[in-house]
A and B are shown apart, each in its own frame.
Chain A
Amino acid sequence: MKIWSVSNQKGGVGKTTTVITLGSLLSGWGFRTLLVDMDPHGSLTSYFRLNPDEVQAGVYNLFQDAMARKKPNPEAYIFKTAFEGIALLPAATAIATLDRQAGTLEGMGLVLANNLAAVANEFDHVLIDSPPMLGVLMVNALAACDRLIIPVLSEFLALQGLDRMLRTLQMIRKSRKSDIHYTILPTLFDRRTREAQESLRLLREKYPHKVWDGVIPVDTKLRDASRAGIPPAQYAPEARAVTAYARFLETLLHDG
């Protein structure tokens, strides 16, 4: 089972869009895919028409069980969505309180990893939508993954945020004593603007070999898919952004 986290400490860069689009492509290609919403905003959860304020079973329960020293039982909290091949571990708004409850408890950074290990035979791919803030939830998302995807906007301020994200990743690598491979994914790229072109050039210059050699273009079809509550690869398989994500996914699968 491959586990990919999508994370950036800057918000609005397309994390949820990346998770749902890659997830829908993977399921369309026949892979059993689990999407995990670790963001208290619950955007991924809402995409599937669940209300994070009313979710009774999901990520929060994993931590409740861990704090009660129970054996991981994630199957009880995973939803089968209406879309074949896609399952969801949703977020409840209450997961925002976990930093206060579990943030200083030993081993609470490995709750998600331990639970995903328990379902390793049930899924081929897991995609984790990470929150935009360093805390127990992001630490779980980063500690659980084999590979990190960092969506980055093609703008100057985004480059500064990326440095911060990579410093956080470095600290987690040291604490885990293991490597986490990462790929930087330029998102919401508007080729009409000079700033986007220049930011992309700087990004590739500063992080050679870490930036995907394509871009995910601005595409209103992604927003339309979200409004319809249908994963992009099912809603608009020929959309420019979806075909770009498909090429990105091929790169990821090829890299292993």
Chain B
Amino acid sequence: MAKPLFPGNSFRVPAAALLAPDAAFQQELALDAYLGALLSSVPDIVETASEPPPAAPLAEDGVPAWARAGFQTLFFKVHGVVLATPLLAIRRIQDLSAPPRALPGRPSWLLGLLETQGETIGILHTAELVIGRERLGGRDFAERPYRHILYSLQGRYGFACDEVLDMGKLHPAEVSWRSPASASRRPWLAGMVPRRLCALVDLERLAPLIRRGKGGLTT
């Protein structure tokens, strides 16, 4: 019996060669940040300037003012994806010891409300906001809930996460910055940290309601 010219469905890729979904997503974020920066439109190019341009909130190299002197960074994990965020955007970190109070008719990205230290805080489904609901696989977040909350500086939201990894200082040169001008898709993606192969996230821009108005590290 002749062997088929092409194995077709009988060809199996070794399991180790297949990317885990979280690793594939991290690669997608890296490509997104890379292409977004390369393809962002820059202001009209002028050959010479007769006088210095007025000061801008972002330098031409795309580094935000708050990051120029270096900044403390928190590294954390959400659904297997390692993310980083400037510590200056976080008020405090707390263990999630009980599920947030669910609200009827709530959007899927809002896990519920938590009463803490005399405040009522909306707890956000960070994995859904970053990765997208359709890519979360079969995880049941009721059975395997988040374990920590990062409370935003503005105090309105808490971002649920699975693991708090470590903290460290980052120099702006250690980040591949993404301009807000290129950020119509994933506006919360501030850049990439090549040393840790992870995305730098602007948590304030991740929150859906805040996205509609001002907010975030660049304002």
CB distance from B15 to the nearest CB of A (A): 18
Whether the Cβ atoms of B45 and A70 lie closer than 8 Å is yes
A139 contacts across to B, CB distance below 8 A: 35, 38-39
The A125-169 residues at the B interface (CB cut-off 8 A) are 136, 139, 143, 156
Whether, in the assembled complex, A249 has its beta carbon less than 8 Å from a beta carbon of chain B, the answer is no
Task: Report the nearest A residue to B36, measured CB to CB.
Answer: A175
B37 at the interface (CB under 8 A from A): yes
Q: Which residues of A contact B (CB under 8 A)?
A: 66, 69-72, 103-110, 114, 136, 139, 143, 156, 171-172, 174-177, 194-195, 198, 202
- In the bound complex, do residue B40 and residue A195 qualify as a contact, i.e. CB atoms below 8 Å apart? no
Kindly state the separation between the CA atoms of A143 and B37 in the bound complex, as whole angstroms: 13
**A-side contacts of B18, CB under 8 Å:** none
- B6 near A106 (CB under 8 angstroms)? no
Residues of B within 8 A of A106 (CB): 37-38, 40, 42, 62, 179, 181-182
A71-B45, A106-B40, A106-B42 given as contacts; is B35 within 8 A of A171 (CB)?
yes
Which residues 15-41 in B have Cβ within 8 Å of A in the complex?
Answer: 31-32, 34-41
In Å, the complex CA distance between A139 and B39 comes to: 8
Return chain A residues, CB-CB under 8 Å to B185: 174-175
CB of B6 within 8 A of CB of A156, answer: yes
Is A110 in contact with B6, judged by CB distance below 8 angstroms?
Answer: no
Specify the chain B residue showing the minimal Cβ separation from A199: B6
Asked whether, in the complex, the Cβ of A109 is within 8 Å of the Cβ of B6, the reply is: no
Question: Interface residue count for B (Cβ, 8 Å)?
Answer: 24
Known: A106-B179, A106-B182. A172 touches B45 (CB 8 A): no
Q: Nearest B residue to A202 by beta-carbon distance?
A: B6
Task: Verify if B69 is at the interface (C-beta below 8 Å from A).
Answer: no
Q: How far is the CB of A63 from chain B (nearest CB, A)?
A: 12
New A-B contacts (7) at CB < 8 Å, excluding given A107-B40, A114-B45? A104-B176, A106-B62, A106-B179, A107-B39, A109-B35, A172-B39, A198-B6
B46 interface hit (Cβ, 8 Å): yes
By a beta-carbon cutoff of 8 Å, the part of chain B in contact with chain A is: 5-6, 31-32, 34-42, 45-47, 61-62, 176, 179, 181-182, 184-185
Number of A-B contacts (CB under 8 A): 67
CB-based contact B45/A66 at 8 Å: yes
User: Which chain A residue has the least Cβ–Cβ distance from B181?
Assistant: A106
Residues of A within 8 A of B176 (CB): 104
A-B contact pairs, 27 of them (CB 8 A): A69-B45, A69-B47, A71-B46, A71-B47, A104-B34, A105-B37, A105-B61, A106-B42, A106-B62, A106-B182, A107-B39, A107-B41, A107-B42, A109-B35, A110-B38, A110-B41, A114-B45, A139-B35, A139-B39, A143-B38, A171-B31, A172-B35, A174-B185, A175-B38, A194-B5, A195-B5, A202-B6
- Cα-based distance from A107 to B39 in the complex (angstroms): 5
State how many angstroms separate the Cβ of A176 from the closest Cβ of chain B: 6
Residue of chain B at shortest CB distance from A143: B39
> Residue on B with the closest CB to A176?
B39
Q: Is the CB of B38 within 8 A of A103?
A: yes
Measured in the bound complex, the distance between the Cα atoms of B38 and A172 in whole Å is 10
Contacts of A156 in B (CB 8 A): 6
Give Cα A139–Cα B37 distance, bound, in whole angstroms: 11
Query: Who on chain B is nearest to A174 by CB?
Result: B185
A72 cross-chain contacts in B, Cβ below 8 A: 45
Judging by beta carbons under 8 Å apart, are A104 and B5 in contact?
A: no
Q: Give Cα distance in the complex from A198 to B6, angstroms.
A: 9
Task: Give A70 to B47 CA distance when docked, in angstroms.
Answer: 4
Rank and list the top 3 A-B pairs by shortest CB-CB distance, nearest first. Answer: A109-B38, A107-B42, A175-B35
Among residues of A, the one whose C-beta sits closest to the C-beta of B41 is A107
Which residues from chain B contact A109 at a C-beta distance below 8 Å?
35, 37-39
How near does chain B come to A124, taking the closest CB pair, in angstroms?
26
For A65, give the chain B residue with the smallest CB separation: B45
Of the listed residues B37, B41, B46, B62, the one surrounded by the most CB atoms of chain A closer than 10 A to its CB is B37
List the A side residues contacting B35 at CB < 8 Å.
109, 139, 171-172, 175
Contact A110 B39 (CB under 8 A): yes
Measured between beta carbons, the chain B residues less than 8 angstroms from A104 are: 34, 37, 176
How far is B37's CA from A198's CA once the two chains are assembled, in angstroms? Answer: 41
